[in-house]
């Protein structure tokens, strides 16, 4: 999101509003600058009434610059917040109080009670028709419809939301474009997804992360050290003056300015902006982070768990062939496959019907007398009971176990067919009818273009990628090898995913994963970074600490990059700030104390005009560098797919050396300008 005039105007006004002492106290380093600005202002006012600490013009100049330092720090935070506030404003437009058609049950759909959306509670059922806005967050329990979610995701293409499966969740504020659905409300008024999203993007719900708190404690410790250094310098100055029998040339104004220059004000001013900007970059990727902690964790992730379907493969596996066992005709296999797929609304299930129609002209419709057996993650089978016929379709190992229990003979050639399909990277589905194995359906899985390069990038970043799939080990191994992942978990169950995450965490790894189904919720809750799909179930969203509005599982890779970029930016600017302090120390001290300690002149390598111009140059540089670094804090340090050691060395060289050289050059230039004006 680009900065516009409105955003800048709002940020400038917020900069002045943030001068409130309570707001300033939230940032201890900048609070010191704030108190110093007040103290120097008081010294200037005291000078007007006869008690002069230093030259009136000099004191006023220092006071003004210190106030500007506070304003620039406030501006950095306000401009970072402004991005979120602009996004929150557009989201508020989508959030409207509308009339909802509430019903008591599915059987009484025609008996509608019109209520305001604010009166809806979890568990209420509402009917939403074409052209209506969905009044609240919920799950579709009846029907299917195309929904316009552009108000939230920014994506204009409509999406399908239907009862059953993992694409049933709908969000309040989106619009139904076709058909009729019944939604079971899952959120209380004011606690919907849109409400949470508004609170997060505008920063109202932002809390300081553990890393941010730890860094702030470190900065406070540094500041305390510099306070002690400044007090010591004043003591030395007073002692030397008394010994030499001269008035103390070191004013309180100078010492306060010196303290501000030595304190880590650069990172102190930008610390909050860096964190907010990290969240903003995620928001721009259409990812809503429920906490800053999750973004930081993403930066430290070294194990990625990725679903095969929809992430590594296109997700729409297509039935390619019916492969019967010996003694069974292709048509009989196709017929049984169609029977077992009539209630299967997945793309795979529909492709079975299409293949049977194209090859054999088989056209069947669901009959009320049919008893359908739904697919579950535990059984990994589905089927139907109809006119004395019992048909099962599912993964080879699941059907084999079922056949063993039912004492059904397993044909020898079935294993060979399954192995051949698996070895080619396809997915075999075995069909069982009554007490006979009929054959195998060959499902083809297509690898997404460019995933190999992405996983190569991950490897260079030191991140291990693991593919999760319900396929058998042979199929999983073939796809894993083609995609270029480091490892895979085949025949994955909810418990299997959970156990794998716990095992990696026990060995000191940070784990990230994506999920969209209720069966993913336990694993998502266990993972350090859990990205739930916006299309997924409410349980998955509650378990995740991030929600991907685009519902793209590959987004996890971009999230990791943004997390690493956040940590790198914070580290780089901290390095720059501390290097700055060291440089300013050696630039200022000789110029300030040369009168009392003439031997320090040899250290005055910059040959600054005077002690006053040295201090003024340093505090001006101290204020301007904050403004100069705001774009970098917002954009982030550029991330490269390099090992951590190389990245650290590179950034230390750039921001460490840059932090030392820049103050020397800039302070000298500013001093030259000041000397011309005096």
Whether the predicted pLDDT of 71 surpasses 90: yes
pLDDT band at 629 (very low <50, low <70, confident <90, very high): very high
Please state, as a whole number, how many other Cβ atoms lie within 10 Å of the Cβ of residue 274. Answer: 27
Q: Which residue has the higher pLDDT, 344 or 673?
A: 673
Give 245-263 pLDDT, tens digit per residue: 777 667 888 889 888 988 8
What is the distance of C-alpha 419 from the center of its chain? Answer: 40
Q: What is the percent of the chain with per-residue pLDDT over 90, rounded to a whole number?
A: 13
- The pLDDT of residue 73 is 92
- The pLDDT of residue 675 is 84
Give 88-100 pLDDT, tens digit per residue: 676 666 666 778 8
CA-wise closest residue to 183 among 239, 102, 256: 102
CA-wise closest residue to 640 among 574, 567, 564: 564
Cβ neighbors of 503 (< 8 A, separation 6 or more) are: none
Give 290-335 pLDDT, tens digit per residue: 777 788 888 888 898 887 766 677 666 788 899 999 888 999 999 9
Residues that are catalytic: 307
- The pLDDT of residue 533 is 79
- The pLDDT of residue 207 is 63
- The pLDDT of residue 84 is 66
**Whole-number Å distance between alpha carbons of 552 and 159:** 13
Q: Which residue has the higher pLDDT, 447 or 428?
A: 428
Whether the predicted pLDDT of 624 surpasses 90: yes
Maximum mean pLDDT: which of 198-212, 232-246, 599-613: 232-246
- The pLDDT of residue 4 is 67
- The pLDDT of residue 204 is 46
| Cα distance from N-terminal residue to C-terminal residue, the chain | 43
Give 493-537 pLDDT, tens digit per residue: 888 888 999 999 999 898 988 877 777 788 888 888 888 877 777
- The pLDDT of residue 553 is 65
| Distances from the Cα of 29 to the Cα of 55, 191, 310, angstroms | 27, 36, 47
Give 350-362 pLDDT, tens digit per residue: 888 988 999 988 8
Determine contact, residues 81/89, Cβ cutoff 8 Å. no
Q: Which residue has the higher pLDDT, 158 or 261?
A: 261
- The pLDDT of residue 449 is 75
CA-wise closest residue to 293 among 210, 393, 374: 210
Q: Per-residue DSSP letters for 191-203?
A: -SHHHHHHHHHTT
Whether the predicted pLDDT of 208 surpasses 60: yes
386, β-bridge pairs:
389
Q: Per-residue DSSP letters for 462-519?
A: T-EEEEE-SS-HHHHHHHHHHHT-SEEE-S--HHHHHHHHHHHHHTT--EEEEE-SGG
Give 164-182 pLDDT, tens digit per residue: 766 788 888 888 888 889 9
């Amino acid at each position: 999101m680009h900065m516009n005039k409105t955003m800048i105007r709002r940020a400038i006004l917020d900069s002045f509003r943030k001068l409130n002492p309570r707001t300033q106290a939230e940032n201890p380093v900048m609070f010191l600058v704030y108190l110093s600005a007040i103290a120097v202002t008081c010294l200037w006012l005291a000078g007007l009434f006869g008690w002069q600490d230093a030259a009136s013009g000099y004191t006023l100049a220092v006071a003004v610059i210190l106030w500007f330092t506070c304003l620039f720090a406030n501006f950095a935070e306000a401009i970072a917040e402004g991005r979120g506030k602009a996004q929150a404003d557009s989201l508020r437009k989508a959030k409207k109080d509308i009339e909802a058609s509430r019903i008591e049950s599915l059987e009484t759909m025609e008996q509608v009670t019109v209520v305001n959306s604010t009166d809806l509670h979890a568990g209420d059922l509402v009917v939403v028709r074409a052209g209506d806005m969905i009044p609240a967050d919920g799950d579709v329990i009846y029907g299917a419809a195309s929904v316009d979610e552009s108000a939230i995701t920014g994506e204009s293409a409509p999406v399908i939301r239907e009862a059953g499966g993992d694409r049933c969740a709908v969000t309040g504020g989106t619009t139904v474009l076709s058909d009729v659905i019944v939604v079971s409300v899952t959120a209380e008024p004011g606690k919907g997804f849109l409400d949470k999203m508004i609170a997060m993007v505008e920063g109202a719900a932002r809390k300081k992360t553990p890393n941010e708190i730890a860094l702030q404690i470190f900065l406070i410790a540094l500041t305390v050290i510099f306070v002690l250094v400044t007090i010591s310098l004043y003591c030395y100055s007073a002692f030397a003056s008394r010994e030499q029998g001269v008035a103390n040339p070191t004013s309180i104004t100078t010492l306060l300015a010196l303290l501000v220059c030595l304190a880590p004000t650069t990172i102190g001013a930008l610390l909050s902006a860096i964190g907010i900007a990290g969240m903003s970059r995620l928001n721009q990727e259409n990812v809503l982070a429920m906490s800053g902690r999750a973004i930081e964790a993403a930066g430290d992730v070294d194990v990625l768990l990725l679903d095969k379907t929809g992430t590594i493969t296109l997700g729409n596996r297509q039935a390619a062939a019916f492969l019967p066992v010996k003694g069974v005709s292709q048509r009989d296999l196709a017929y049984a496959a169609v029977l077992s797929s009539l209630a299967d609304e997945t793309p795979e299930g529909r492709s079975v019907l299409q293949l049977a129609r194209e090859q054999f002209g088989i056209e069947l419709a669901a009959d009320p007398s049919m008893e359908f057996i739904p697919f579950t993650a535990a059984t990994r089978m589905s089927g139907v009971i109809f006119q004395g016929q019992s048909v099962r379709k599912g993964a080879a190992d699941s059907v084999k176990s079922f056949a063993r229990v039912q004492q059904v003979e397993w044909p020898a050639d079935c294993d060979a067919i399954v192995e051949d399909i698996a070895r080619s990277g396809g997915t075999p589905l075995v069909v069982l009818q009554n007490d006979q194995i009929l054959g195998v359906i060959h499902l083809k899985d297509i690898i997404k273009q460019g995933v190999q390069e992405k996983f190569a990038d991950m490897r260079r970043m030191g991140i291990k990628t693991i593919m999760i799939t319900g396929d058998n080990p042979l199929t999983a191994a073939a796809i894993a090898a083609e995609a270029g992942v480091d490892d895979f978990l085949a025949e994955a169950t909810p418990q299997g995913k959970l156990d794998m995450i716990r095992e990696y965490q026990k060995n000191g790894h940070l784990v990230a994963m994506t999920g969209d189904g209720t069966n993913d919720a336990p694993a998502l809750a266990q993972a350090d970074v859990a990205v739930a799909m916006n299309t997924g179930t409410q349980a998955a969203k509650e378990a995740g600490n991030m929600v991907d509005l685009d519902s793209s599982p590959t987004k996890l890779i971009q999230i990791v990059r943004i997390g690493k970029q956040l940590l790198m930016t914070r580290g780089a600017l901290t390095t720059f700030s501390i290097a700055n302090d060291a440089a300013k120390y050696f630039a200022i001290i000789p110029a300030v104390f040369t009168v009392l300690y003439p031997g320090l002149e040899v250290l005055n390598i910059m040959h600054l005009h005077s002690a006053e111009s040295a201090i003024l140059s340093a505090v001006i540089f101290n204020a301007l560098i904050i403004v100069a670094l705001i774009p970098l804090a917002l954009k982030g340090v550029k991330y490269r797919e390099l090992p951590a050691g190389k990245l650290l060395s590179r950034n230390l060289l750039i921001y460490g050396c840059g932090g030392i050289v820049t103050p020397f050059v800039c302070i000298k230039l500013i001093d030259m300008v000041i000397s011309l004006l005096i």
